[in-house]
Each structure stands twice: as structure tokens, then as C-alpha cells.
Structure 1
Amino acid sequence: MPHESQSLLQAVVVFLLAAVLMVPLAKKLQLGAVLGYLLAGVLIGPSVLGLIRQPESVSHISELGVVLLLFIIGLELSPRRLWVMRRSVFGAGLAQVLLCGVAIGSVAWLGFAQAPAAALVLGLGLALSSTAFGLQLLAERKELQRPHGRLAFAILLFQDIAAIPLIALVPLLSGAGDVPADHGWMPLLRVVGSIGLVVIGGRYLLRPVFRIVVKTGLQEVSTATALLVVIGTAWLMELAGISMALGGFLAGLLLADSEYRHELEAQIEPFKGLLLGLFFISVGMTAQIGLLWSAPLVVLGLTLLLILLKLPLIFGVGRLAGGLSADSALKLGVVLATGGEFAFVVFQMARDQGLIGVAEHSYLVLVITLSMVVTPLIVLGLSALPRGKAVPVARAVPEEYKAMDHDTPRVLIAGMGRMGQMVARLLHAQRVPFVALDTSVETIELTRSFGHMPIFYGDPLRPEILRAAQAPGVDCFVVATNDAQNNRRIVERLRQLYPGIKVIARARDRSDARFLRSLGAVPVREAFFSSLEMGRETLLTLGFESAQVDVRVQRFRQHDEDLLDAQYEVRGDEAAIMQTAREARTELETLFESDRFEDTKTADRS
């Protein structure tokens, strides 16, 4: 086997082995997958084990992970939604880059005696945060759709856009400013032309191409086309001097309203995860860990300085420009306080152009990498901090919602969610007096807006609220809140206070139903009857006779309720419950088989 093939295979095995070992370990320690990839890169890189001696050889491939990430983000947006986000993108995003750039640049110029041009590049380069890192961290913690997650995305999007002029600015600041003036327009014309070509091609060419490809019915061709669109757009943007990541985002944005959006996302997702992991591994490999031993105070001090400069400024942007709460603004600041992947590109160009020295470049790469390593630890530390009792942020409760002026009820309903509202409407139609309790002002307000409904604000776990609702005189309690654990607690309280009154309680599943039944309540599984109706409609669609379907559904319902009774008798013994379920399944098959035999005999007689 040729030496090159052996080297390639060895590199692939090393990458995969490092990821397989380090990422699950990091996840188990609740550090997140991103930190696992970074540590894997540090481990196999030239600074530690030296298993991969040329990290630059994979950097171009690994950057495709960021490209694919931004392509999928673009798919989830649309030009209309982007326009709606314009204030966050160009307001908060611009404020963050300018404030952080000025602060860091000033420190570099005045505190570290850097030349003004170098200080400008350092300030703006370190003002950028890691799009891949930030979004992956937010996605892992399921915070992308929270207020700070949405604002983080908007700021990161502006940073990706801002990276374009910054990359173009580096050669001009390096002293190559004696280029002819007319030549200075060429990069701008290339940028405008490339974006125009992508926009026109995306609007008039991509959809017909996808239509033809989908008609072939070949999955691999569809996957290849999706990759061609993303990588081809990124390549075109790179030729024009624009970041490949922004090209990927632009391609996704153009296809956001396409009927093939979900298909494209499904095709790209596996490649995105793998290449994004490779990107973080390559970042870890470039870190010169030796500097930590030779100059630990300098490296750690610079990392801390970067975070301490950016975090309060981003916190302020989140509070003032984003309207976030203090807690959300702090989370935003922590996620965006890192350095970014575009800083690697900017600082490498600045080193090649002589704006910064080789030693300074090595420190910068390590500081950016360490900031990425430290951030998940800070996030984990913040989430582990003991918090005081949260101050309620719900709306004030109007007094009329508390004053229970009503007729003597026969039914008391706890919880006016979907199921509680259906019960209330049925009782209202039959003119049965009832009282409903809920702890959501919005729910009470909405329910009362449909007409005079005796719904009041109150926690059914409090005995004084129950007495005010005349609970001792009702015939029946209906417990129907959206929280299964809360339903259990309410039933337990009702059983303590009013053991003789019938309780009908909403159950989430079979185990919930068994527990509620053990308290003496009648459990009603929230999805059981709707599932029966769905099964009934399915059988009718398949051509079964209506009378046959009704018999089958009724038999199934009775059989399932009998099974619940049997499982209740052996509750607490999981093995016995499973055995009961297996026996019941066999019995049901036998019953349906006899039904089919009877149907056949009836058909033969007719």
C-alpha cells in the first residue's frame, strides 16, 4: 500500500478514535461535545502525543463543518424572517462588534504598545466570537429558541458578515496601500458579482435542478446535489474573497422557502455533525500547549483578560439593545465571550502580512482555543450555582379573579387546560353548576373572554382555596392540570381532606393511571380515547365495515381496561406487569382471530 494511503488511513483512524474516546467522556462529565472535540484535538496534536503533525492539512476540510452549520441555519430562516431580525442583527450585532473592538483594540494599543494598525486588527478580530462553538453550545443546552439564544444567533450572524470587510482590511493596513485606486474596486466588484450570481442562481436554477434530481428517485444523487450546492457556493464565495461560512448561509437562505428544505436538511445533517467535530479537533490541534508550561501566567492572564473585557460589554448589549433579563444577558455574555474561528483566519493573514509577529500569533491562537475550552466550564458552573427562590414574573392577579362569588357547585375542576376546558364546556351546556380553579392569569382571562365562566384564580393544593370554592359540598372533583406530578399531589390532598368524594383525574400514561387508582381516583388517560378514535378512522379508511370497526374498538377498549385492572393488582412488580402485558397481547390476538372467523362465516352464509 502506498505511503500516502497509509498516512491518510492512519489520520482517519486517529481522528475517529480520539472523538469516540473523548466526546462521550466529556458528555458524561457534563462538559459538552464541543469541549470533548477540543480536548481530542489537543491530545492528538503536535503539542501532546504528536499523532497528527500537520494540523493545517485538515483545516480546509474541517472548515466545511462551519459552512454546513450555517447552511442549515440559513435553511431554517427565510428572507422575510431575516428582515424581521434586522434590528437584532444590525443593531445589537453592530454594537457588540464596535464596543468590543474598541475596548480590546485600546488595550492592545495602550496596554501592550501595539502599532495602531495591529491594535485595530487585534481589536476587531478578538471582538468576533465562534459561530460554530456558540451555536453548538446553545443547541446542546436546548437554548437556541430562548431570548438569549435568538439574540446570540443574530449577533453571530452580524459577526460573520463583518468578517468580510475585516479580512479585506488586513492587506490594506499592512502597508500595501500603494495599490492603484482603480485596483481597489476589484475586490468589491468580485464580492457584489459573486453574491448576485448566487442569488440569481438560487432563485432561478436550483429549484428546477432539485426537481429533476428528485424525479430520479436516487437517494445518493440527491445527497450529492445537496453537497454540491453548499460546497459550490462556499467555493464561489472563497474565490471572491468572502468567507465560505457566509456563502453556506446565503445558499441556505435562498432555499429556506423551497419545498425541498426538509429534504436538504436531512441530507446535510450527518455531514455537518462529522465535519463540525473535525473543525473543533483541528482547532485543538493548532494550540501550542507548550506555551502553557513556558509562560502559564501570560497565557492564562490573556485568556482571562479577553473574557473579562468581552463579557460585561456583551452583557450590556444584551440588556440595553436586546432587552434581555439580567440572567439571560449573563448567559449571552458567557457564550459570546470566546474568540472565534474567523480570528484564526484574520490573525494568520496579519502574521503573513507582517502586522503581528510569529510569537504573538502563537499566543493568540492558544488564547482563543483556551477561551473555547473555559466557556463550557463557566456555563456548567453557572448552572450549578444555588439560586434563590425565583421571583414570580407572572402578571398581577386581578381581585375579581380571586373573589369566588358563585352558586353552589356540583363539580370542582382543577386545571383549565385542554381537558379541563372540554369538561367545563360539557357541564356548561348541560347547565350543571361547577367551579374551575387555575393558577394562570392568562388562562383565566382567555376562558372568561368566551362568556361568563365560573373560573377563579387559586391553587387547589391549599385547603383554604378549596373551602372558598365550596369543595366540601361538591359531588365530584375533576383534576385536569397539564402537570402529571401536580395532578398526583392534588389527588393526594383531596383524599386527605375529602375522602368520601369521587375524584376523576387526568393520567398521562399507564403507570400514572395505576398510581392515581391506588389513591382511589378514577384515572382518565389523556391520549387513550383520541388514540382509539384514530385507530377507528384508520380501519374505516382501510375498508372495514363500520359495524365491525365499532365492535373491534369496543372490544379493544374493554380488553385494555381489564389489562389495567390486572396490572393494578400486581403494581410495584415490574416483571409481573410485563408478564401480564404479554399474556394480554396473546389473548387479544386470539379474540380478534375468532372475530375474523365469525366475520368469514357470516360472509359465507350471505
Structure 2
Amino acid sequence: MAAPHELTSPFISDALVILGAAGAVIPIFARFRITPVIGFILIGLLVGPSGLGRLVPQFPLLYHITISEPEGLDIFAEFGIILLLFSIGLELSFGRLWQMRRQVFGLGSLELLGIGAAITAVLASIGHDIGGALALGLALALSSTALVLKITNTTTPVGRAALAMLLFEDIALVPIIFLLGAMGPSAAGGFSAMVSTVAVGFAVIAVLLVSGRFLLPPLFAQAARTKSPELFLAASLLVVILASLSTAAAGLSPIVGALIAGLLIAETEYHGEVEHITEPFKGLALGVFLITVGMSIDFAVVAQNIGTILLATFGVIALKALVTGLLLRITGARRGTAMETGILMSSPSETTLIVLTAATTAQLISPGTSQFWQIVTALGLTITPLLALLGRTMARRIDRYEPQSTLPDEHAPRAIIVGFGRVGQLVADMLTRHGKAYIAVDSDADLVSDGKHQGYAVTFGDAARGNALERLGADKATAVILTMDEPVSAQRLVRRLRGAYPDLPIIARARDTTHAAVLYRAGASQAVPETLESSLQLSEAVLVDLGVPMGPVIASIHEKRDALRTQLMEEGGLSEKPALRSSTMRDRTA
């Protein structure tokens, strides 16, 4: 009788294990509000060749819940890193990079070079040759973009400092790999080859930047006009893959192309929708990468070197936290911010594994040394969420005894206009005239393009699907104004917003009085029926033409409008008066 593993393709078996792991890990860890990163690494440990996979010869049925060919997952893990760098580019944009240039190239370079030099000095002092020590120092100086950006909020002081340092590390990754290749003993005459590769690489990057500026906006505009999420996803993945293949063909890392693709799309009004639609794929691919990290840990090696591994992990974390915290204090950060950021950035990175592989290929470190530091890196990645919690707790204790900053919030609240047709533009004009900040969102690519050309603050996104409003800051919005002429979508959106944000003023456009009552029932603060307003305006024009003074006419119109709205709210099952609901919005916009 055939063994179980002879009846199932290894690829299918491994795919089922991965999908099963994702299906189990994500909801279980989300239930306890713990990042699934730990779960993926533990799954890799459990189902890898040094875990249950070791027992397959004795218990053949374990074949179906273990990874039989770990090498086959490498391409998926690399694709996860590519999508990760792509998402970083989407969040960044050239404009934001230019605004953060002092933090990125100042603080970021000091952090990477300072930590790299410190680790290199320590390793050289305990017997490593200078080339291997430098390779390990640069590798371990990197911090986890994947985990840190998921844990922190980039609008906070901690998040902004961490983002600046992580961005410089991502930019420096390619030069680091070049440097290690040129330093290797097998790199005789490699300097000229490196210079040639860099020249070709810069030429390819220049072509990508120029062509992307002209080709991407019409490409995504056409995809947006189809209203097809599948086509939008296909266009996004096509851009990422082509950019990655271009830089790989030039001798650079494919992650450089992914980063550039993200930067270029971030300059278009479609970046929010692209980020949302590629998020599930990035999460799954990153999960595969973390599973491979767990599988790289050999229990036998860990058991033989447990003391050294723990000491090395603690030493790297302590040294990185100390250097990062001191740099932030020197540059003027608060004590709590410096403490939390230092601890958050203290563990090694998923890109550490890439640099370790490059150093091993260049023969700067031995495979045994590489495996030892891979285990240290995997352990550091596993405890990163715990380090973030520790840093947050310590920062709160420190901040209790430090005066709070009075600097204004650079991310001020604003109104969100959903729909940017005729009504949406008129609302934007009135908000601008009275000095009120706003951002408009629409799923019509042509309306968005026209609005941007006219100077309006408008972006592309489908508010009725996904988390477009959350990305625009609905949690701190002064108000949300729904202007689209889609009764069912408006009703659903009002209900969703009211459930998520009980105190948010929601002003909605209604087709008629019946629709207005439905919107009030769904949770709208104000529902304005078009038929009612046109009737009131018609009455106003008639009374003025008949000789009634303007003052009494306006007063009577306001009285009638308030009476009719009160009636509509009562029909919607609400007893609160319109004036009371309006005061909430006035308080938030004051």
C-alpha cells in the first residue's frame, strides 16, 4: 500500500498546511489581540523539518500537516517581502520622503551606522575577522519593517521616528548587499563589476521613474472606470512584477523595483485603493515568509547553544535599544518617546536574513555562523510584539513625570465629503470659503482627476467598500458629508459609520422625504431631501417677488425647514431635535 505522502503532491500538501495555518493563526491570535506574527513563526517551528517533520518516517500521517519541501516556499517568502516593500512605497510617496528627508537621511543614517559600528566592534573584540564582523553588524542593525509598522501608528512621534529609520534601512539594503559582495574573498575584480551594475541599475531606475509618471495614471484611471476590483488588483500586481523584474534584470534586488512601484503609485490619486486591495495578498505572503523563518530554526542547534543564543539575543536587543534611544534623546525627542522607540526597534529584521544570506554567499561568514544568527533573528522577530508592549508600558511611566508637549497636531481633523459630483463640489467650496479643512473621496476616476486639476482636495476611493473612510481619518473627522445619489449605499454607509463612530456628525443627501426618514433611522445627524430644499427655495423666490421683505421670508423658511426635519426625524424613530444634533457638529468644527 502506498504511503500517504505518495498519494498527494508535495506542493498541494504544503499549500494546504500554509492556508490552514493562516486560517487558524490569524483569527485565534486576533481574538486575544496579539499580532499573528508570533503564530506564524511558531507554526513554522511546529511543522518544519526540525519539528513534527522529523517524525514523518515514524508517523506517516504527519506528512499532511507538515512542510515536506521547505525550499519550495522560498519564492513565496521572497514575494511576500516584495509586496511588503511595495506597501512601504505606497505609504511613503516622493513628497512625503522629501518632507521627511532630515529624519530619514539624518536620524536614519545615524541609527544604522551607529548600531552597525557598535555591533561590529563588539564582534571583532571577541574574535570575528573584520569582514565578518562588519557583515553581521550591518545585518543585525536592521529592524523589522513588517512588524514595527504593523504595531505602531506612523502619525505618533514614536511611529514617525521609527518610520524614518526603517525607510533609510530599506533604502540602504541594496548598497549593503553590494558592499558585502565586493568585500568577499571571491570578489577579485568585483569592484568594476559592481560599478557597472550600479550604473545599469540607476539607468533602469530612471526609466521606471520617468515612464511610471506618464503611464501609471492612465492605466489606473482605466481600471477605475471599469469598477472592477479584479482588474484593479491585476493592474497593481502587474506594475509590481514588471518593476521588480526590471531591477532584477539590471542586477539589483527585485525589492528595489517594488519600492519604486509603490512610490510611483503613491503619487497618483489611486494609492489608497491599491493599498487596500493588495493588503490581503501582502499579509498572506508575509505569513509564508514568517513560516519559513520558523522552519529555519533547528531544535538540535538551539538545544546545544541555548545559553549563547539567549545571551546573543539579549545583547543585540539591549545594544540596539540603547543606541537608538540615545540618538533620539540627542536629537530632541522626549524621554518616553526615545525609550519606546528604542525598544520597539531593538529586534533584528526579516531583511537581516537577506543580508546574512548575502554575507554567506560572499564567504564573509560560515554557514554555521549564519545559521546561529538566523536563530537569533527568528527569536528576536518572535518577541518583537512583547518588546513593543514593554516599551509602551515603560514610556507611559516615564511620561507621567514629564510635562506634555504643547506642539499642535500636524494631522488636524477635517471633514470628509463622500461623492464629488455637483453637490460635493459645492459643499467643498463652502467649507473652503469658511476656512474649514476637508478631504473628498469618489470612486469615479474622471471626477477625481477633474477635481484635482481644479485644486480641490479629492482622492480616489470607494467609500462603500473596504476601509477607505478609515484611511482618511474618519475616527477624528469633524463631520462626514454624504453627497452621492445612491440611496441604498448611503443608508448602508450611514449605518456603518454610526455603529463605528457614535459621536460622528453625519450629514447625508436624501432623494426625498421618505429617503430622509430612512437615513435618520440609520443614524444620520442631518438628512437633507432634495425635493424639500427645492420647494423651500421656490417658496422663497415666490414670496420675495410678491413683495414680502427678505428678513421675514428667510425666518419663515428656516422655521419651516426645522419643522419638516423634526417631523422626518420622528418618522425615522428619533426624538432628538435637529438643533441638538447640529450643536455636536458645531462643537467638533469649532
Asked if these proteins are the same fold (TM beyond 0.5), I'd say yes
Q: Is the 8 A contact 1:42 1:284 kept in 2?
A: yes
- Shift of the 184–30 alpha-carbon distance from structure 1 to 2, 3 Å rule, reads closer
Q: Is the 8 A contact 2:22 2:284 kept in 1?
A: no
Q: Is the 8 A contact 1:289 1:366 kept in 2?
A: no
Match of 1:390 in 2: 400
Q: Is the 8 A contact 1:70 1:245 kept in 2?
A: yes
What is the deviation of 1:30?
4.3
SS of aligned partner of 1:376: helix
For structure 1, the 5+ residue unaligned runs are: 397-416, 419-482, 484-507, 511-526, 566-606
1:80 alignment partner, one of 78, 87, 95:
95
Taking only the aligned residue pairs, the percentage that are identical comes to 32
What is the deviation of 1:533?
7.2
SS of aligned partner of 1:535: strand
Match of 1:368 in 2: 377
Match of 2:133 in 1: 119
Matches within 5 A, 1:84-233: 84-111=99-126, 113-138=127-152, 143-179=153-189, 182-233=192-243
Match of 2:526 in 1: 534
Q: Deviations over 1:56-97 (max 9, x none)?
A: 321222232232233233223332221111111111111011
1:59 alignment partner, one of 62, 74, 87:
74
Q: State how far apart, in whole Å, the 2-side matches of 1:546 and 1:75 are.
A: 49
SS of aligned partner of 1:46: coil
What is the deviation of 1:183?
3.3
Matches within 5 A, 1:261-410: 261-321=271-331, 323-383=332-392, 387=397, 390-391=400-401, 393-394=403-404
Which amino acid letter does the alignment assign opposite residue 556 of structure 1? Answer: L
- Shift of the 257–57 alpha-carbon distance from structure 1 to 2, 3 Å rule, reads same
Which amino acid letter does the alignment assign opposite residue 165 of structure 1? Answer: P
Match of 1:553 in 2: 565
What is the deviation of 1:168?
1.0
- Shift of the 246–3 alpha-carbon distance from structure 1 to 2, 3 Å rule, reads farther
- Shift of the 365–216 alpha-carbon distance from structure 1 to 2, 3 Å rule, reads same
SS of aligned partner of 1:536: strand
What is the deviation of 1:564?
7.6
Q: Is the 8 A contact 2:520 2:526 kept in 1?
A: no
Q: State how far apart, in whole Å, the 2-side matches of 1:274 and 1:393 are.
A: 43
Q: Is the 8 A contact 2:10 2:69 kept in 1?
A: no
Q: State how far apart, in whole Å, the 1-side matches of 2:317 and 2:575 are.
A: 60
Match of 1:246 in 2: 256
Match of 1:491 in 2: none
Q: State how far apart, in whole Å, the 2-side matches of 1:221 and 1:169 are.
A: 40
Is 1:255 paired with 2:233?
A: no
What is the deviation of 1:37?
1.9
Q: State how far apart, in whole Å, the 2-side matches of 1:126 and 1:394 are.
A: 34
Q: Is the 8 A contact 1:319 1:329 kept in 2?
A: yes
Q: Is the 8 A contact 1:31 1:380 kept in 2?
A: no
Q: State how far apart, in whole Å, the 1-side matches of 2:239 and 2:131 are.
A: 38
What is the deviation of 1:509?
6.2
What is the deviation of 1:184?
3.9
Which amino acid letter does the alignment assign opposite residue 24 of structure 2? Answer: L
Q: State how far apart, in whole Å, the 1-side matches of 2:248 and 2:293 are.
A: 20
Q: Is the 8 A contact 1:118 1:356 kept in 2?
A: yes
What is the deviation of 1:234?
1.9
Match of 2:439 in 1: none
Match of 1:585 in 2: none
1:20 alignment partner, one of 11, 14, 23:
23
Q: Is the 8 A contact 1:148 1:324 kept in 2?
A: no
What is the deviation of 1:346?
1.8
Which amino acid letter does the alignment assign opposite residue 216 of structure 2? Answer: L
Q: Is the 8 A contact 2:520 2:527 kept in 1?
A: no
What is the deviation of 1:355?
1.8
Q: State how far apart, in whole Å, the 2-side matches of 1:242 and 1:332 are.
A: 31
Matches within 5 A, 1:426-445: none
Q: Is the 8 A contact 2:336 2:398 kept in 1?
A: no
- Shift of the 532–160 alpha-carbon distance from structure 1 to 2, 3 Å rule, reads closer
Match of 1:235 in 2: 245
Match of 1:448 in 2: none
Q: Is the 8 A contact 1:339 1:371 kept in 2?
A: yes
For structure 2, the 5+ residue unaligned runs are: 54-65, 407-412, 415-475, 477-500, 504-518, 540-559, 578-590
- Shift of the 154–392 alpha-carbon distance from structure 1 to 2, 3 Å rule, reads closer
Query: How many residues matched?
Result: 436
Match of 1:71 in 2: 86
Which amino acid letter does the alignment assign opposite residue 527 of structure 2? Answer: G
Q: State how far apart, in whole Å, the 1-side matches of 2:187 and 2:243 are.
A: 30
Q: Is the 8 A contact 1:34 1:137 kept in 2?
A: no
Which amino acid letter does the alignment assign opposite residue 160 of structure 2? Answer: R
Q: State how far apart, in whole Å, the 1-side matches of 2:391 and 2:265 are.
A: 38
SS of aligned partner of 1:278: helix
- Shift of the 330–54 alpha-carbon distance from structure 1 to 2, 3 Å rule, reads farther
- Shift of the 556–540 alpha-carbon distance from structure 1 to 2, 3 Å rule, reads closer
What is the deviation of 1:188?
1.1
